[in-house]
Amino acid sequence: MYITLSRFRVEGDGQAFDNWLLPLADKQRALPGNVMYQVLHDPHDPQARVLTEVWETEDDHIAHLTDPDHVEIIALGSEHGMRDVYVHHWSRAEGHIERGRNRTEHRLADRDERSDMYHLIDELRTARGLPTS
């Protein structure tokens, strides 16, 4: 896996910026090798954005750099308000595990995994009169 996090600020109309960027981000998600491409907002700072990209390989990441929609993001980003852009890259990210559950307090399939954490979760939920898993 190859991971890129881009932090930046939006100067001006954040909604207009999102209206421009989000359709381009949708197209990046459809590219070969893309695992995740998300535009995140900071609820405490409405002008802050983080773009999270996860690619199967570094070659997939490099190939997307010349995709016309990515070129538009870079070529016209400043015109739409992108400022103070800082990018972090992780190559050869290993050990990716994706897990999901319906509710935050639900245990993973292996009841012994992270048993210390779930014990504390059950204690806190019991103390607040909530059901435990």
Q: Which residues lie below 8 Å from residue 54, measured CB to CB, with a gap of 6+?
A: 1, 2, 3, 34, 35, 36, 37
pTM metric for this prediction: 0.82
Residue 129: per-residue pLDDT: 94
Q: Per-residue confidence of the chain (133 residues) as pLDDT tens digits? A: 999 999 999 999 999 999 999 999 999 999 999 999 999 999 999 999 999 999 999 999 999 999 999 999 999 999 999 999 999 999 988 887 777 778 878 777 766 777 888 888 889 999 999 998 7
Question: What residues pair up with 42 in beta bridges, in sequence order?
Answer: 45
Contact yes or no for 50/68 (Cβ under 8 A): no
